[in-house]
Amino acid sequence: MVNPKILLVCGGRHFSAHSKLFATLDHLKPSLVITGTYELHTTPLHRITGADELALTWCRMNGIQSAMCEANWDFFNRAAGPIRNRNMLMLNPTAVLVFPGGTGTANMKKVALATGIHVMEMTDTLLPEEMNWL
């Protein structure tokens, strides 16, 4: 049996390079994509944006299952993001794709590296064909 590629995608809420993210996921062909969200019940004022939104859009366009993990800001306050980041790793991703972002993205990368999960930082110069690590 082939091991499924479960990819956790993270990046900033202002990340907008959809062609880069789409090309990366096209190349890697994941069977499941994990993303974080601000909240699952989104409204126009609190909608999923950035790398998370783009990853979910790619999943819908390609018939790929996604798993969205909500940060419970009401209960955990400022600790909600880091707690959610640690919990997303319980879904056992094959790798974490890190697109440009801020402190939340940096935390996700740090937590993934600390647990030994393969992390690929997606830079402007890295091409999908250079990702032969999966």
CA–CA distance from 82 to each of 26, 48, 69, 76, 78 (Å)?
28, 18, 12, 10, 8
Q: Kindly report, residue by residue over 31-76, the tens digit of the pLDDT.
A: 999 999 755 444 454 455 789 999 999 999 999 999 999 888 889 9
Structure tokens at 28: 């890697």
CATH code for the domain of 27? 3.40.50.450
What pTM did the predictor assign?
0.86
Q: Kindly report, residue by residue over 3-23, the tens digit of the pLDDT.
A: 569 999 999 988 988 889 999
Q: In what order do the strands lie in the sheet with 65-70?
A: 65-70, 32-37, 6-10, 95-98, 118-121
**Full domain range(s) for residue 43:** 6-130
Structure tokens at 115: 């647990």
130: pLDDT strictly greater than 70: no
Asked if residue 65 is part of any domain, the answer here is yes
Q: Kindly report, residue by residue over 62-118, the tens digit of the pLDDT.
A: 999 999 998 888 899 899 999 999 999 999 999 999 999 999 999 999 999 999 999
How many independent structural domains does the chain possess? 1
Structure tokens at 49: 């944006």
Asked if residue 30 is part of any domain, the answer here is yes
Asked if residue 1 is part of any domain, the answer here is no
Measured between alpha carbons, how far is 38 from 126 in angstroms, rounded to an integer? Answer: 28
